[in-house]
Structure 1
Amino acid sequence: MNKIELSIIAISRSVTQSSNYAVVLREDHGERRLPVIVGGNEAQSIAIAIERLDSSRPMTHDLFKNTLEILNSDLREVVINEIREGIFFSRLILDRDGDIIEIDSRTSDALALAVRFGCPIYTYDHIMSEAGVTMEDEETEEEMDDVGTQTAARDKDNLARYNVKELNTMLDEVLSNENYEKAALIRDELQRRGSN
């Protein structure tokens, strides 16, 4: 079976499951999208890695990455290899001193690790045919924008009211509470103002 390479293009709140998120993957050479429902913690972990935010202590996926590196193992690729009853199954393909090792993984964890290692994410055509959706690029962008734009715009407007000192205090507070989405917004506001 030929593998199809995927890229993460969005993370948005799930419309069908309010406490979960949808990680939207797009095939690199096609129009299909693969929405994968993940929990809030996993979505946050993926977003933190994408945004390259630092936390004061390593998160679970950072710890796992550090452990693999200490054990001379490199995550070569992630493969979403199966779907059963709407649940995706994935494999971590590791290279340890030239030996290839495959490990079963939840797809949400596999995606969080793929982002941290910078490795490719793959799936197969039969999975894209079963669970993928085809959208025009404009429709996809509009749909993704509608999900979080109103909340993000409201948060940005609220942040504009604070001075730099207050923003830095807020940033420390949200980082200590591991609210990395809010931290990213505050960081962006500070960068917009040319402050650190």
Structure 2
Amino acid sequence: MSGEPSSSNPMNSHAIRLLSPEEAAPRLGQLAALLAEAVEGGASVNFVWPMTASKAEAWWQGALASHARGERLIFWAGSDEELHGSVQLVLAPQENQAFRADIAKLLVHRRARRQGLGRALMQAAEAEARRIGRTLLTLDTETGSPAEHLYAALGWTKYGEIPGYATCADRSRRAAASFFYKEL
């Protein structure tokens, strides 16, 4: 599947690709810019303002190293030149959980939102999880966020909520987190 379009939404031109480590590494700058843009737009993805390019690049360097070790899969949505979104499938490393993975860092650029791209990225990640034998997926997200509504609409099951779980990107408050799973 690497390098080949895995999905495309007929309503737009966002091709989704599962990147190989060799394809992902040279895209560090674009991936970091997407992360910084998402955080500056208020996304609750583990960072607070100010979100700098160096913070985003440092995080992505670690993610790319993890990808190269086979610990995660990185999906790219957009053209070769322009990144509109990304999501990751983080494979559980435990021997007794070889059937499980986590969804991480669903990021959609503000200019590409409300076009079905988040849905398409999630569907691509779920399809690849199925293909590689990962039949239980988990994730967490800010309670009440658009992402929470997306996951529910995609058939994910909310199994809990923790109040005051993470500081919002703008540092204005500590938001609750909702936890979801999906059996494939």
Same structural fold, with TM-score higher than 0.5 when normalized by the shorter chain: no
Give the TM-score normalised by the residue count of structure 1: 0.23
Structure with bigger gyration radius: 1
Give the TM-score normalised by the residue count of structure 2: 0.24
